[in-house]
Amino acid sequence: MPRFAANLTFLFTERPFLDRFAAARAAGFDAVEALFPYDHPAQDVRDRLDAASLRLVLINTPAPDWADGGRGCAAIPGQEGRFRREFAQAVDYAEVLGAGLLHIMSGLASGPEARECYLRNLEWAAAQVPDQRLTIEPINPIDMPGYFLNDFVQAEAILYELGAPNLYLQFDAYHAHRIIGNVGTAWQRYGQRAAHIQIAGYPGRHEPTGGEIDYPAFFARLDAEGYGGDVSAEYFPAGDTAEGLDWFSKAKG
């Protein structure tokens, strides 16, 4: 059985953010992730993790302009200074929270200048924190138009070109299905570079059950291949979060 985590930006939103940690533990999770914990002091989040005996798997670099359409800035030429400031904030939070992975968001950009900017920022970031594992994630252009990193071929080429030992692929099965059309094919081609997996059903991005993605088969494949990372539930619950966790109970056996 894979090690499952709950994304607290998506799940248990019936409660305030800091109350979601206890809810995740009560539902049977022993690990969580959060996209942007920056609205709360890092120590307050750490206290909730400790109280619930939870590991924090991953956080994103900040996107303080998210509500206005911002999606990070690592690939946006001219915003290198902002990137470095926000990366430093993310590293501070990751250290306090014990975050195993830090996802660097590329932002909305395109073209060769954006690619060069992204490469240099990733190279700089990886060198700053050699003991912190970093990830990049292809996000499909239908759900997030204009996002720079929108293809697995592109991500693989960047990882190969940089060759940073602490930089990995973040494999979101939902996005992989939308980009490539088959999760199994995507995993076979790119999974060896993945340090983290996220899941959601398709269509709808709800619970990972039914629909076009055969998650029981995918989980069995991960077990057979000895995948050692976490599999995070990053979906929009169709109803109450806890009532939609039958898939989790079945996956745990």
Q: Annotated active-site positions, please? A: 137, 234
Please state the separation of Cα 41 from the chain's center in Å: 21
**30: three-class secondary structure by DSSP:** coil
Burial of 176 (C-beta count, 10 Å sphere; 0-12/13-18/19+) = buried
- For residue 77, is the peptide bond before it cis, meaning its omega torsion is within 30 degrees of 0? no
| Helix (DSSP H) and strand (DSSP E) numbers for the chain | 9, 8
